[in-house]
Structure 1
Amino acid sequence: MQENAKKQKVEDDKETTELKQCLEIIPDEEEVTIDAIPLAVKSPSIVGWKIHKEGRKSYYQIIRADGKSQMYMIFSHMLKSFSREDLEDLYKLVKAKYKSTRPVEDLDLLLLGDLKTMFEPHVGFSREDFEDLHKVLDWKLYDSCGVHSLRMQHVHIHMLVEKKYPLIPSTLLMMLENKLQIDYESEMAYQLLKFIIKQPKK
């Protein structure tokens, strides 16, 4: 039994070493200074959002149950501070609002598209959509909400870590070659890499 345990540890260490070669730790330097909130303290749920304009710039204003709000210029900035619950709350609100109408604002159209692709990959895009896409520019993991994001030449795709998306083999290979960018090592990063590596590459 001891011999088997030693062999298993050697195999696990080897796999971890191989997976580490597919990771790139990049501490977030864009991070804006915010008041530190203990991890145990849960943020109030999201109850609404609107587009806030300042001159030529537009922002997403996310409104929480306690009346406080936060501004985000782009969707990926939300992912840095959102939990999975936050994402699900926002998705439900956006989906309910645009159930039978189409967004007027460009930012709302983008938000609806990003959330739909994330939660409904079978509706958001198909395998054929990737045929015309080109080089993978970067691949990032947002650990707090369990989302990984793929930036390509003509599109930015946000995906839930545990869901399977219609990525073509050449895209999967480029993702692994570019390495997964993370702020810090985590079990989620290793699980995601294992999941991507297991998908057929031919």
Structure 2
Amino acid sequence: MSNYLKHMAGYKQSQLKNKSFAKIQKLFDKAMTWVNMFVDMDTELVKESSKKAEAEMAQESSSKRAGEELEQEVAKKRKMEDDKEKEDLKQCFEIVQDDEVAIDAIPPATKPAPIFDREDLENLWKLVKAKHGYTMPEEAYERVLWGDLKVMFEPHIEDAVWRNLQGHKVKLWRLYDSCGVHFVRFNNMHIYMLVEKKYYLTLPTITDMLNKKMQADYWNEMCYQLLKLMTKQLKK
């Protein structure tokens, strides 16, 4: 027992020296109890535990794959829906170059130059507002410019242009993507609007615009987003 305790349980000779047989027996029994509690890697208990762990890992991996597949399926379905929506909205669009637009469709004095960008328009509105404030100018050209820019940047439901929409048919709907502005020409009036803003257009006017079709130099994301905004307003 002493040899076993020294070689297997790690006791030193000095620890066992002068101990009685009963005490050595007690230490030996304690060491054997510890040995008997040890489970060999080949036992059924360990094998069962290992199998359970592998099954849990496999289930977790399977759930992860299922989640990734679901995300891919949702993304694929969303893309298909977006593609279909774009194709549907293209029915309200036509490619027309600037030189193809009828000469009398847009008065030269009110047609925005394609080289304008948004910053140019914003700076122009700041200058006009600094000069005239919210008081309509008396001079004809300045009055037209002031009215166009005010409606474009700071539309208000009380503006006369919205009250006069009823009964007017759309002659032209044109997008100028260089400055992010779309233009609607009626029989005897016109409106300039920023592509990202919602304006006080009547539902019949929006319907007429979509039926007339929006003109642009080419199809792009701005065309899609503007048509999407218009159809969304129509549904509401």
TM-score, with structure 1 as normaliser: 0.71
- Equivalent of residue 96 in structure 2, options 26, 39, 59: 26
Query: Structure 1: how far apart are the matches of 2:199 and 2:134?
Result: 26
Contact in 2 for aligned 1:119/1:160 (Cα 8 Å):
yes
Q: CA offsets, 1:143-193, max 9 Å, x none?
A: 011111100112010011111111111001000001110111111111000
Q: CA offsets, 1:112-136, max 9 Å, x none?
A: 11111111110644643322x4110
Task: Indicate the RMSD between aligned Cα atoms, in angstroms.
Answer: 2.3
Task: Kindly indicate whether residue 75 of structure 2 is the aligned counterpart of residue 75 of structure 1.
Answer: no
Choose between structure 1 and 2 for higher RCO, CA contacts under 8 A separated by at least 6 residues: 1
Contact in 2 for aligned 1:130/1:168 (Cα 8 Å):
yes
- TM-superposed CA distance for 1:4, in Å, is 3.1
Q: For the structure 1 residues 184 and 200, does the alpha-carbon distance in structure 2 shift closer, same or farther, using more than 3 Å as the test? A: closer
Contact in 2 for aligned 1:84/1:145 (Cα 8 Å):
yes
Identity %: 54
In structure 1, the residue corresponding to 2:99 is in which secondary structure?
coil
Q: What is the match of residue 182 of structure 1?
A: 216
Contact in 1 for aligned 2:116/2:179 (Cα 8 Å):
yes
- TM-superposed CA distance for 1:101, in Å, is 6.0
- TM-superposed CA distance for 1:77, in Å, is 3.5
Contact in 2 for aligned 1:26/1:183 (Cα 8 Å):
yes
Q: Matches of residues 104-183 of structure 1 in structure 2 within 5 Å? A: 104-122=138-156, 124-125=159-160, 127-131=162-166, 133-183=167-217
Contact in 2 for aligned 1:22/1:177 (Cα 8 Å):
yes
Contact in 1 for aligned 2:136/2:146 (Cα 8 Å):
no
Q: What is the match of residue 14 of structure 1?
A: 84
Contact in 2 for aligned 1:169/1:201 (Cα 8 Å):
no
- Code of the residue aligned with 2:84 in structure 1: it is K
Gaps of 5+ in 1: 32-71
Q: CA offsets, 1:46-65, max 9 Å, x none?
A: xxxxxxxxxxxxxxxxxxxx
In structure 2, the residue corresponding to 1:115 is in which secondary structure?
helix
Contact in 2 for aligned 1:139/1:180 (Cα 8 Å):
yes
Task: Kindly indicate whether residue 121 of structure 2 is the aligned counterpart of residue 87 of structure 1.
Answer: yes
Larger radius of gyration: 2
Gaps of 5+ in 2: 1-68, 102-106
